Chains A and B, each alone.
Chain A
Amino acid sequence: MLRIRDASVTFPASDGQDVHALDHVSLDIPPDSIVVAVGASGCGKSTLLNAIAGFLPLTEGTITLDGREIVAPGGDRGVVFQKDTLLPWANVLDNVALGLKYRGVSRGERYERSRHLLELVGLADFAEKPPYELSGGMRQRVGIARALATDPKILLMDEPFGALDSLTRETMQQLLASVWARTGKQILFITHSIEEALTLGTTIVVMSPRPGRIVARFDADFVRDFAEAGDIGTIQSHPRFIELRQEIRSLIHQPEGARKGTLQ
């Protein structure tokens, strides 16, 4: 269980006005859930993820994972980045096995586990290829396999499909839903797409910028259907989906003053 309590991150700005990238955010990510943070750019959703990953210190508040406070990056939190961060000098298999190598897992064992994960993401035939011979979607799949290889307690995904074309994106969402259904990992997923948030989230938190806050949260269950049936069209035309999408859209597009008045 990941527990975020009153987390604030403040950046000093050049004009002297501090930027409150994250303002007293509290959030729980229980096991077996996908929490999706959605919002316009600058709403602090990436700051939240970076703080959980340990890349960024909190100005106030605490984040704990299974009771232990997070102070630095660590292997118990797997991160999938927006831009793939694969090592160009290593082939796909060695990239997936990197975290296991850091842990001192023997060569045979780490390759066996990595091959298994490559199978899970549908890239078993590409193990020996260098990453730069793969398409953007394939590289992101390698990134997911790499993050899963060390069996982290939580998977942090920072707009991982944001740079992909819409068809590849749907395939990747389907893949993630089925990986989640099979592994039961707790996932924090950042996106600016409301459809993506509703398709993948068991919990959707809507964030607003300046200061970065959670303004609303919704529970959804579309991802379970999605993982089973895999038909994104049926899900996205469900009346409840359309209703929620409209509600979230109006929350995000509301003028700042009005939102503060109604929700704070």
Chain B
Amino acid sequence: MTLAANSRTSFPTAAAQRRPSRRLRRAASASTFGISLATLAALIALWFLAAQFGWASPLFLPSPADVLTQVSAVAADGYANGTLLDHTLASLGRIAAALGVGIFVGIPLGLLMGLNRWVKGIFSVPIDLYWGLPPLAYLPLLIIWLGIGETSKIVLLSLSTFAPICFAAQAGVRSVPAERINAALSLGASRLQLFASIILPSALPEILTGLKIAIGAGLSTLVAAELIAAQSGLGYMIMSAANFLATDVVFVGLIVIAVLAFAFTSGMRWLEHRLIPWKGKL
């Protein structure tokens, strides 16, 4: 009896049944925000408790208070030849340069590869070949060729951001519905008009997806590269701190990277919302 009563009360109301799409949408986006926030709060609380009751040695798990102190200390006095801002800017500068190369070379080349058999034939083999390699495997080669300075790092990062953007642009061109092209041609579009008004906007969702992948690939390659050969940057700061078992500074570095990654993701979501509100709708 109680079971039956319970299941009846849990039925959706008539109003909710009438608008299943809105209900689903709300379930998918807005309502997770509170849950995620609670999860984050629980994790931080757990960290507090673990430090408070000495579940782990401060050497392995510094207390949140220590980390917070270190944030201001590293920000003001610096660590490993630079303040927190210096290291963050050094890392951001590298990733911005690499994304710039990825966007300004990858998008045009990818579009051309999608449009032209010859361009695709020529470039797809070398890109496929190097894209299969782990970036850290060929970093030593880049250092031998280009030295230990900025150039080798930016080239490494550019290689890791370029391929996903290039592939995405190419896939974007090929995803344009044939009828959309035929419709434009029968409206009298020239080749240039067809490209600018149909192919480029149709490829935009794919390109933005590629950009998201490129940012992820760039961030992971960036930190790895800075761990191996650098005199600045967040990866370098983490590595230096680890060498002196300054776990709290390692945490500072990790938190900054996490915040950066979150900011990039949110930025991309905002960009998608602004540029392609029609995605998946037609």
Contacts and interface: CB of A to CB of B under 8 A. Distances in A.
B188 A87 contact: no
A87 B201 contact: yes
Interface stretch (A5-13, A37-45, A69-77, A239-247): A69-77
A132 B188 contact: no
B185 A73 contact: yes
B194 to A, nearest CB: 9
Interface string A220-257: 00000000000000000000000000000000000000
A53 B185 CA distance: 9
Give the one of A72, A83, A98, A101 with max B CB within 10 A.
A98
Interface stretch (B63-71, B220-228, B265-273, B274-282): B274-282
Contacts of B281: 88, 130, 132
Interface in A18-55: 53-55
Given A79-B182, A85-B180, A130 B187 contact: no
Q: How large is the interface on B (under 10, 10 to 19, 20 to 34, 35 or more residues)?
A: 20 to 34
Given A86-B282, A130-B278, A131-B282, A74 B188 contact: yes
B197 A85 contact: no
| B182, B184, B277: most-surrounded residue (chain A CB, <10 A) | B182
Contact of A53 (B177, B186, B201, B277): B186
B198 interface: yes
Contacts of B190: 102
A75 B187 contact: yes
A140 interface: no
Interface in B177-212: 177, 179-180, 182-190, 193, 197-198, 201
A102 B196 CA distance: 11
A103 B188 contact: yes
A74 to B, nearest CB: 6
A73 B187 CA distance: 8
Contacts of B197: 87, 98, 101-102
A81 to B, nearest CB: 5
Contacts of B201: 87, 89
B282 A88 contact: yes
A53 B276 CA distance: 31
A89 B282 CA distance: 10
Contact of B179 (A74, A81, A88, A103): A81
Contacts of A54: 185-186
Interface string A73-112: 1110111010101111100000000110111000000000
A177 to B, nearest CB: 23
Interface string B91-123: 000000000000000000000000000000000
Contacts of A156: 186
A45 to B, nearest CB: 17
Contact of A89 (B186, B189, B276): B276
A115 interface: no
B186 A73 contact: yes
B179 A83 contact: yes
Nearest to B194: A102
Contacts of A103: 188
Given A102-B193, A131-B282, A132-B282, A85 B179 contact: yes
Given A85-B177, A86-B282, A89-B201, 7 more contacts: A54-B185, A89-B276, A102-B190, A102-B197, A103-B188, A147-B187, A150-B187
Interface of A: 53-55, 72-75, 77-79, 81, 83, 85-89, 98-99, 101-103, 130-132, 146-147, 150, 156
21 contacts: A53-B182, A53-B186, A55-B185, A55-B186, A73-B186, A74-B185, A81-B183, A85-B180, A87-B198, A89-B278, A99-B188, A101-B197, A102-B187, A102-B197, A103-B188, A130-B281, A131-B282, A132-B281, A132-B282, A150-B188, A156-B186
